[in-house]
Chain A
Amino acid sequence: MSTDFNFQHPPFDQLEPKQRELVSSNLDIHYFQSQQKIVTAGAQASSLFIIIKGQVEERADNNDEVFAHYTLEDWFDVRSQFGGYAKHDYIALEETLCYALPSQIFRRLVSENSDFGDYFQRDLATRHQLVESREGNKNLAEFILTTIDERNVQPAVVIEGETSLQQATLIMREQKLESLLVNHDGCFGMLTGTDLLHAAVLVQQSLDTPVCQLANFNLISVNKGDFLFNAMLLMTRNSIERVVVKDQQKIIGILEMAHLLSLFSTHSHVLALRIARASSIEELSEAAHTLNKLVENLCNNGIRTLFIMKLLATMNEQIISRVFELSIPHQHHNHICLMVMGSEGRGEQIVKTDQDNGLVIEDGYDWPERQQQLNQFSEYLLELGYPPCPGNIMVNNPEWVQQQSQWSKTIANWIETGHGDAMMNLAIVLDAHAIAGNKSLLRRLRKDLMAQMANRSVTLAFFAQPALKFHTPLTMFGNIKSKQAGLDIKKGGIFPIVHGVRALALEHAISATNTLERIEQLASLKVIDEDSAANLKEALLLFFKLRIQQLFPAEEGQDYHVLKLDKLNHSQRDLLRHGLHVVKKFKQLLALHFNIRDY
């Protein structure tokens, strides 16, 4: 027949013309009334249904659990197509028209066309685990998801602390090593070729100096089983070239940046290195402008959202601190502290976000040319593609550049005011994360804030209230509710979790700024039970993930907080619905916890 079956819709777009003909000539159309049972659990499948119109719900046959909703162009029930029995009931929620493709034809297509078959296999897999990488750049995904083990660690050669400089140099040369581990009374230190050169040539130490005086005993280590990716972030963050790998307490080897980079395909490392080595704003600018491209690449390769966010946070931090170094003379660095706020402070941005930053200055520190240099800093960030903050929370605005005691007074004022903008400002400062200068200044400031807020339950309730402001987009019956424009996931999901968790973190004086870390700490303090904590984290990550997927391919003038539900497949819609239920529950918990009425 020549129906209007949509062959543009994946995976049907994978079919050859002959196979399309086969589908077309075998499709029937079934009509179901509202509440009619389409598939009964335990029945053997005869057709794969593809919805033309309407909504279908997958339910356990005792009716107490809903598994999924299907709508336009979704299909069901793939699981039972391969000779199995339907696991659940499928019920039409409204009048529904479906194409019915006979199971044996479907199976034939799956066996004839591997791309088509893979898609269904994958579709099944996504219900259990949402990491998939597309063809083409699989090695990147595989690499990033690789864990540290003996295969990618270089063996560490351990020498005694008494070994002389000369001997150590010989060992390195003979064994072609970049570094050695030094055992000094059970403490391990790292000795690199550079250390030896430095000692012998620049400081002119004698050649029989014991190496324990030259080695660096502040070892940074990773554990066997960690992700390679995290090791790379750690090295990037600390500007070091190698880390020690431990298995429990035992050192099993060394992981080198150079080696890692040779494994690492493409540009994330190149980018990190370019940022670290940029000596002018122009060089930095080139690096900064490839950031979005990098994120897109990672997204398209199915890299986990959490990693992408971590990477981006690290990169942004590096860029901003480089800008800081390039625009503010070094002698001031010890007396001031640059903080970033908002999503950047929480390490949760996925695009280069607005410049939310501020400065804490040591009490009484005199710095006459400060305004001009800070303006320069904001100017540079603009050049690198960081748009100005609409609320003007930037260091070129004197309100966000204060000495410590001034900050303390400002915060006290906000707390006294107790509502509106003052509360939002408080929330902003609460997420502040120090990225350059003397970081202890911010630590003290935050301690001060926590102390001032202690035991002020009324203010806390006012602080928490905005988390309940936006309606969770679920209908009376627990289905997703969305407007024509789409679903604003920031208002509907992300903000309530982020802000609610922030309020709880403030109450319990938790110093972490990242929402996921805050949730973990709240769970360990028994403020939230383990299950809820896990659900909250999953939900938040899912929202981030859905939002990130909206970005690529980017559309002109789109608001990336607004999800287009019609672009989601049914398993994603399903997860989204579950996520929103988690938000709803969390909001109820907040209302109860902070005694917020009228919710």
Chain B
Amino acid sequence: MLQRLLYQRKYKDSEFATLFAPYRGKEYVALDLETTSLDTKLADIVSMGAVIISENRILASQCFDIKIRATDKLGGDSIKVHRLRHSDLAQACSIEEALPKLLQFIGARPIVGYNIGYDQRILNRHCKERYGFKLVNPLVDVGRMFADKVHVDHVGISPNQDLVHICQSLGIPLSGRHQAIDDAITAAMIYLRLQFGPRPTNAIPQAISA
């Protein structure tokens, strides 16, 4: 809170002013990054996907979907995960171009995601290096949200927060392709389902027959 006020003053005339303005809207942004490694200190961003959640809608038609030009850190292991080869990224833009666009898109909206703390740490590192600030948007982690809402059979057992498990137990279609935008949309669906739907149970429901 205090951080936000400080930044608000510091950046009030920059392009990032909207990030720190008090947010009165009702929208959220679901975000997902594909990165070169799981180590937040080293990882580079390969692609960014973000989508706005407005009431009960996911505004997928106006989503943010950008691939970042390759750096030398794009190693073989992560290529296997999200199948973006160096050649695929040749058409993409640099992190210097993409980052401000993403921040514009997000604005001061709360950020929704699966394990969103990780994405936030990476964004923070990049923002800190380049602009000197960290993100102050509230975060909503859908894994956490699921764990809070789910009925547990025994108190004290921490519920399964695996993404596949969450999607199955909520009956949400899980995209099979590791792409930032698809994962962002999946996170958005989980958010809406948990926000508006009935309390989930930890059991996997039977497949619904028509």
Which A residues have a C-beta under 8 Å from some C-beta of B? 1-4, 25-34, 52-53, 71-72, 95, 97, 100, 102, 480, 482-484, 565-566, 573
Contact = CB atoms under 8 A, between A and B. Distances in A.
Given A2-B182, A28-B57, A31-B58, 19 more contacts: A1-B51, A1-B60, A3-B175, A4-B173, A4-B182, A27-B61, A29-B58, A29-B185, A31-B56, A31-B57, A53-B172, A72-B210, A95-B171, A95-B193, A97-B172, A97-B189, A482-B209, A484-B207, A565-B209
B63 interface: yes
A2 B179 contact: yes
Interface string B34-58: 0000000000000000010000111
Given A28-B58, A30-B56, A30-B58, A3 B182 contact: yes
A97 B177 CA distance: 20
Given A28-B61, A52-B173, A71 B189 contact: no
B57 A30 contact: yes
Given A29-B185, A31-B57, A95 B197 contact: yes
B65 A1 contact: yes
A4 B58 contact: no
Interface residues of B, number: 29
A429 B22 CA distance: 85
Interface string B163-192: 000000001110111010110010011001
13 contacts: A1-B51, A2-B181, A26-B61, A28-B57, A29-B185, A29-B188, A31-B189, A31-B196, A34-B197, A95-B193, A97-B172, A102-B61, A483-B209
B132 interface: no
A1 B210 contact: no
Contacts of A27: 60-61
Contacts of A72: 210
A362 B201 CA distance: 73
Q: Report, nearest first, the 5 A-B pairs whose CB atoms are least far apart.
A: A29-B58, A31-B192, A565-B210, A31-B56, A1-B63
Question: Taking each of A30, A72, A482, A483, which has the highest tally of chain B beta carbons within 10 Å of its own beta carbon?
Answer: A30
A34 B61 contact: no
Contacts of A565: 209-210
Contacts of B156: none
Interface string B71-107: 0000000000000000000000000000000000000
A28 B209 contact: no
A25 B209 contact: no
A34 B198 contact: yes
A31 B63 CA distance: 17
B23 to A, nearest CB: 22
A446 B172 CA distance: 61
Nearest to A484: B209
A25 B57 contact: no
B54 to A, nearest CB: 9
Given A72-B210, A482-B209, A482-B210, A3 B60 contact: yes
B59 interface: yes
Nearest to B207: A484
B210 A33 contact: no
A100 B207 CA distance: 24
Contacts of A31: 56-58, 189, 192-193, 196-197
A483 B140 CA distance: 39
Contacts of A28: 57-61
A100 B58 CA distance: 10
Contact of B189 (A25, A29, A566): A29
Contacts of A573: 210
B175 A4 contact: yes
A566 B209 CA distance: 8
Contacts of A26: 61
Question: Taking each of B58, B63, B175, which has the highest tally of chain A beta carbons within 10 Å of its own beta carbon?
Answer: B58
Interface in B196-210: 196-198, 207, 209-210
Question: Taking each of B61, B171, B172, B196, which has the highest tally of chain A beta carbons within 10 Å of its own beta carbon?
Answer: B61
Contacts of B65: 1-2
A358 B192 CA distance: 66
A29 B60 contact: yes
Nearest to B171: A53
Contacts of B193: 31, 95
Contacts of A1: 51, 60-61, 63, 65, 181, 185
A484 B189 CA distance: 27
Contacts of A483: 209
A138 B179 CA distance: 45
A565 B57 CA distance: 30
Contacts of A4: 173, 175-177, 182
A57 to B, nearest CB: 13
A348 B189 CA distance: 49
B30 to A, nearest CB: 11
A31 B171 CA distance: 13
A71 B207 CA distance: 14
A29 B57 contact: yes
A5 to B, nearest CB: 10
Given A482-B209, A483-B209, A33 B173 contact: no
B207 to A, nearest CB: 8
A566 B210 contact: yes
Interface in B119-135: none
Interface in B2-17: none
B173 A25 contact: no
Contacts of B173: 4, 52-53, 97
Question: Taking each of A2, A27, A33, which has the highest tally of chain B beta carbons within 10 Å of its own beta carbon?
Answer: A2
Nearest to B192: A31
A59 B117 CA distance: 45
Contacts of A34: 197-198
Interface in B134-148: none
A71 B208 CA distance: 10
Question: Taking each of A4, A72, A566, which has the highest tally of chain B beta carbons within 10 Å of its own beta carbon?
Answer: A4
Nearest to B51: A1
Contacts of A484: 207, 209
A95 B197 CA distance: 7
Contacts of B172: 53, 97
Given A2-B179, A53-B173, A33 B196 contact: yes
B55 to A, nearest CB: 9
A52 B192 CA distance: 14
A33 B197 contact: yes
Contacts of B179: 2
A482 B209 CA distance: 7
Contacts of B51: 1
